[in-house]
């Protein structure tokens, strides 16, 4: 579904070419993420906000795996997601094969998202700079 259809307040207008300037958090929850090959990779389940630094750090994304089996959760650095501002879709520049090797979250052993090694590993996988300087 296009997140543009959820714009109940008319807030997704922007005078800058190339996308939406601001998105509501509720708009992103449940949205599909499209991978490099144009196929659905997963859905945004939650946004992880670093309250100390006041930044949206990660989009917690579910990935169903082969035939919907073995659902996993991934903390995708928010800076790795892109929107097109036209179709209202979110994109991640990773194909499904590579995504299968992404660091994932075990719900029974939640990572320390403030751990610098974990932050570096996750951001390096997606090829984006950590949202915190000096990592």
Top-ranked range on mean pLDDT: pick from 23-32, 90-99, 116-125: 116-125
Cα–Cα distances in angstroms (integers) from residue 50 to residues 3, 65, 79, 93, 103, in the given order: 24, 28, 14, 23, 19
Q: What is the DSSP code (8-state) at residue 131?
A: S
pLDDT of 58 higher than 70: yes
pLDDT at residue 75, as a whole number: 95
pLDDT in tens, 63-112: 865 555 567 899 999 999 988 766 778 899 998 888 888 999 988 889 99
The mean predicted confidence, pLDDT, of the chain is 83
Statement: the pTM of the whole predicted model exceeds 0.75: yes
Sorted by where each starts, the structural domains of the chain and their CATH numbers stand as 3-126 (2.30.30.240)
- Whose CA is closest to 39, among 73, 15, 23, 63? 63
Residue bearing the bigger pLDDT, 13 or 104: 104
């Amino acid at each position: 579904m296009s997140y543009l259809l959820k714009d109940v307040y008319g807030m997704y207008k922007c005078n800058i070419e190339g996308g939406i300037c601001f998105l509501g958090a509720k708009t992103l929850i449940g949205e599909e993420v499209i991978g490099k090959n144009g196929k659905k990779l997963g859905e945004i389940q939650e946004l992880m906000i670093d309250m100390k630094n006041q930044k949206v750090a990660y989009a917690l994304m579910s990935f169903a795996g082969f035939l919907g089996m073995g659902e996993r959760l991934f903390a995708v650095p928010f800076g790795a997601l892109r929107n097109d501002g036209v179709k209202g879709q979110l994109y991640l520049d990773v194909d499904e094969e590579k995504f299968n090797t992404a660091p994932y979250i075990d719900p029974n052993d939640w990572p320390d998202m403030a751990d610098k090694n974990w932050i570096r590993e996750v951001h390096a996988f997606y090829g984006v700079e950590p949202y915190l300087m000096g990592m």
